[in-house]
Structure 1
Amino acid sequence: MARPILRKQREDGSARIIEEDTTEEELYRYTRYRWSCNEPENLAMRYRKFNISALLDAAVHAVGNGAKSCVKVVKCVEGQYNKAFTIIMDNGAEVFAKIPNPNAGPAFYTTASEVATRDFLCDLPLLRTILKLPVPPIYTYCSDPFNPVGAEYIIEEKAKGKPLGSLWYMWQKETQLGLVTRLVDFETKLTSVSFGGHGCIYYKKDLEKKAIQVYDLDARSYSSGDLVKGSPAEEFVVGPLTEARLWEGDRAMMKLDRGPWITPISYLTALGVNELQWAKTHAKPRTNPYQSLEALETPGEYISLLERYLQLVPHLSPGPSRTSLSHPDLHLDNIFVDPDTKQITCIIDWQSVSVSGLFFQHKIPRLLLPIRSYTTRNCLKTASDGSKATHDADGTSDLLRHYQHLTRLKNEQQWVAVTSPNRSLRIKPNSLLCGAWSRNDVFSFRHALINIVAHWEEITPVNAPCPIQFDPKELELHNDELEVVEGLGEVLHQLQDDNLIPLGGMVLPENYEQALHINNTVKEMFVNMAESESQRVLFSRIWPYQDQSL
């Protein structure tokens, strides 16, 4: 049997996708971007070896309809967490296959939960009839990495339509507004189904083997007023979260409380207790140049911050509230549309989708946020045929206002939850505490707690004293650190705004050597801004785009 043609997609730097020959080894490697620092570690987190022949056999078997072999494999433009392939059969049929990278989340749970969530939304008669969500059906999957493929995988229907990113910047404002309306309708449908807990959806049979705590789904559709019940619904449960931050590094081997939970306060408490348990066991003294070039930063302060966070939890919790599913990453590549009708045909990437309180969700879709100049200038090139591009700052603001207006009208419960007074202050510590020590960001976690103390009277409706305090010395040291952090942040954002180095240091392979040169030049300029020799050493140490050993 002839080997299939191997191809890969890549961006050409002008928002266009081109296809070219590739090798089997490149199917396993991450090739979309390179890193200006710590590249080996970043690539290792995204390398996944598997048995390509076994994957193709599984795809042929799943397709059926006379397909006997695969004639072509196209590696799709990569996201950060999965390998994705379009597989073309000898009879012309096409399917989409996805294999999670090591950084995607916990083995078994990540795939098992995604499959169960999508099946729940699309296969239950009541929800399929009422919601009609544009989710591609799954043909076959395996959540056990110890299979002939050698990795977990999902094989599903290829998404119909075109990625929104290939069309969005050529659309006129009226067309974009129509798409935003349909996005709000999609989110409203998800919110219309409530659940009895906070966690991820699984098949009951999958978690019974793990002997871990689960809760009944207790799902109710508010569109019909009916409880989602019956034999199919009883196959599902709410189980632990699959967020990578709860399973990273040493955490994967620890007995932590990853859910499910019934109340918001139990969720917030568990995150703090988990991190406290990790810090007491695994955090070690280290150098923190933001604070001192000589004295070591010890875990003691971090542990103290976590203990103070736990004292705040009863005041940060919104109280009992509805829980629902939400899609966490509605960006241009995850939304597919019909180029002619402009209707949404498919929404992909349901990995790590969870059931949570409305208070904790609702990230504004990324396509509605202001766009950095790097993206804007490249996307302008796609409108060179005379189409009217509407991605300028004013246009983005109009789209965001339209989105907010419709959410307020159509998705009232979501709107009330996310516009709760001081919501951003109250959820900030929760969003930062998991892994703050591991990613060298204790500063941001501390800053969030200090802000809560500073705005305590606005946060609490009753005249109660704040249960935690920061003494003058702590605040002085924090403000000194803040000055350095903000100064460096201005430099890094300027690099991105000038299209030199994106935040995070990821660049396209063809721009890698140029980015290294720019990085070295700008670092030297930054160090030369120092007013003393000790400050020069500090500026050199805190520059982020260099290997950690430097």
Structure 2
Amino acid sequence: MFSSRCLPRLALSQARNRSYHLDAINEHELFSVTTRRWLWNEEQQRAARYLPFNVQALVDVATKASGAKRCTSIKKIQDGIFNRTLSLRFDNDVELIAKIPFPTAGPKHYCTASEVATLDYLRTEHGIPTPIVRAWCSRADSSPVGIEYILYEKIPGVQLALLDNDDLPLEDDPFVDILMGLVAIESRLSKIGFSQIGSIYYKEDVPYSLRNRPLYADWLVPKANSERFRIGPTVDREFWRAGRAALDIDRGPWPDVRSWMLALAACARASIAHHPDEHLKREYDGLISDYERLVHHIAPANKHFILWHPDFYPRNILVSESRPRLLNGIIDWQGAVVTIDCLQVSIPPVYDCERHPLVVWPESPEELPGLATEFDALDDEQQREALVALRRAERKKLHEITLREEDPSLAKEMYDARGALAKQCYLRPALAITRGLEEGLPYIRQSFLDCRAIWPFVKGRDVPFPLDISEVDSKQIEEEWNESVRQAASRRRILEEIGVDPSSDGLVSEEEYDAVKQAFSEARARAMAAVSNPEERQRLVETWPWSKGQLSLTAELCH
């Protein structure tokens, strides 16, 4: 493997004679978002993803890394939310994928350096099929290419998401074919205990003060290979997004959960230090103080810190193109962190599903879900929807059954009522405290109530909750939160009705843009027409959540 943080300039000069002829390249295509549009804040979103670079220099790096004499093609595969991916082909039949992170993805240097090390660690230490990196650069200012990038071998196969076909018999379902392989990976990841909370790096990429710290918890014996890696600062976007990269705050690694939880409080307080709304700032600061008091009571002594895939969706799972489907690779470990196990372990989205009124879940732990008796009375479209929901439910149940057979302790943590979900509810204040400006202060207040609801099961019914929240205050908090949830559901419904993913910040394809934009305008007009009071209508105009200048989480820069 050609593993260099940045290709030396000498190597570039030696590669010139085998470079790709660039006359036909459309640089606008490679530098800009060209296949997608945003319904709001489009200028901001496009600016965050405009990344010019030295194309010839990248081709030279890739040609050398591939062992070829000449690059025969370079083209864009995708503009994602956090990355742009390119395909480079060479005269020796090698194809490399270039992954170029946007400033929205994570902290400069750390985001790329950690992803590369994590891919290497998982593959060489545990045999988990991740892309093989041929070359990479985490310091754009020291590279002739002029940007950060990762060049890795293309994993053969097809995305599991493209094989989501509920017409197949369950025994032929590709999601079922690879189930044992994914369960084995989940089980393996859950058993690896690290020494600190943070992210994985090569030893030489962490500060000197961290290089002598062990990678693993003291009950795990390191191997020669594992000594190449260390835990360094977290790449969790919460510590970097929306201007936080400029803050002088603690970003780890942390030796225990309490230190991490208090670092989140410091991050939240530093984020509002210069906020123009003094009233909001005082309220938020008071909630941070409440949270800090709470931390000393709820921070678990548990120090089982594990690594988990941050985005376990079918699009990130590659399988063989023909049956039987084999698990070829798991991609996109960008943003992976090491933290307490109960905040990592969750039913992977590839097998999770929402409840559907026509899908009946059996009481027996060994039976698969079925269809309600009302199914036969439905029209064709409704039956189709129910069958899709049934297949999702069958996959989830098979995942649970398989996991309970292969790893009962992990299955208990993932599926049982007092498992990870309850613990996440108990620790929800830590997940909420830095989100007050984005989600609203009711989100933080409600997290305190969620924690209080679990408190008796953790500490005992006779132990008082550390925060004094009266019944009157509790009722008001719940009312505020329920109103926030209602408004969020209304916004979600509007977007779904016009065919927009509610989590996409208004991202649609170029082909759909005009039609969706028109439908979006009509939805706004209907919302305005439904309000008769002029003052309420003006308030709706001012607070319409998708106006230019409103918050777009996917446009928040991390450096």
Q: What's 2:77 paired with? A: 76
Q: What is the SS of the residue equivalent to 1:103? A: coil
**Counterpart residue identity of residue 179, structure 1:** I
Q: What is the SS of the residue equivalent to 2:89? A: strand
Matches of 1:443 and 1:327 in 2, distance apart? 30
- Is 1:266 matched up with 2:269? no
- Is 1:521 matched up with 2:522? yes
Gaps of 5+ in 2: 1-18, 357-383, 552-559
Matches of 1:248 and 1:480 in 2, distance apart? 30
Contact 1:145 1:151 in 2 (8 A): yes
131-140 vs 455-464, which moves further: 455-464
Contact 2:446 2:478 in 1 (8 A): no
Contact 1:268 1:317 in 2 (8 A): yes
- Is 1:359 matched up with 2:359? no
Q: What's 1:237 paired with? A: 230
1:128-143 superposed matches below 5 A? 131-143=126-138
Gaps of 5+ in 1: 7-21, 286-295, 374-387
TM-score of the superposed pair, with normalisation by structure 1: 0.82
Matches of 2:259 and 2:509 in 1, distance apart? 43
Q: What's 1:385 paired with? A: none
Q: What's 1:325 paired with? A: 307
Which of the numbers 374, 389, 402 marks the counterpart of 1:393?
A: 389
Q: What's 2:41 paired with? A: 38
1:41-440 superposed matches below 5 A? 41-64=44-67, 67-123=68-124, 127=125, 131-146=126-141, 147-169=143-165, 171-174=168-171, 175=173, 176-208=175-207, 215-218=213-216, 227-230=221-224, 232-279=225-272, 281-285=273-277, 298-340=280-322, 341-370=324-353, 392-418=388-414, 419=416, 420=418, 422-437=422-437, 439-440=438-439
Matches of 2:401 and 2:529 in 1, distance apart? 49
Contact 2:200 2:230 in 1 (8 A): yes
Contact 2:211 2:230 in 1 (8 A): no
- Alpha-carbon deviation of 1:252? 0.8
**How large is the RMSD of aligned CA atoms in angstroms?**
2.9
How many pairs are equivalent? 495
Matches of 1:168 and 1:81 in 2, distance apart? 24
Matches of 1:389 and 1:159 in 2, distance apart? 33
For 1:491-516, what per-residue CA distance to the aligned partner results, in whole angstroms no more than 9, with x for missing partners?
32323443533213222222222222
**Counterpart residue identity of residue 112, structure 2:** T
Contact 2:429 2:451 in 1 (8 A): no
Matches of 1:329 and 1:455 in 2, distance apart? 27
**Counterpart residue identity of residue 228, structure 1:** P
Q: What is the SS of the residue equivalent to 2:302? A: coil
Q: What's 2:556 paired with? A: none
25-34 vs 303-312, which moves further: 25-34
Contact 2:428 2:450 in 1 (8 A): no
- Alpha-carbon deviation of 1:47? 2.3
- Alpha-carbon deviation of 1:299? 0.9
110-119 vs 472-481, which moves further: 472-481
- Alpha-carbon deviation of 1:189? 2.0
Contact 1:36 1:505 in 2 (8 A): yes
Q: What is the SS of the residue equivalent to 1:227? A: coil
Q: What is the SS of the residue equivalent to 2:243? A: helix
Q: What's 2:13 paired with? A: none
Q: What's 2:3 paired with? A: none
Q: What's 1:382 paired with? A: none
- Percent identical residues: 27
Q: What's 1:489 paired with? A: 488
Q: What's 1:538 paired with? A: 539
Evaluate the alpha carbon distance shift between residue 31 and residue 173 of structure 1 in structure 2; reply closer, same or farther with a 3 A threshold: farther
Matches of 2:387 and 2:114 in 1, distance apart? 36
For 1:146-201, what per-residue CA distance to the aligned partner results, in whole angstroms no more than 9, with x for missing partners?
11010111111111111112222265422332323322112112223222111111
- Alpha-carbon deviation of 1:329? 0.7
Matches of 2:453 and 2:186 in 1, distance apart? 34
TM-score of the superposed pair, with normalisation by structure 2: 0.81
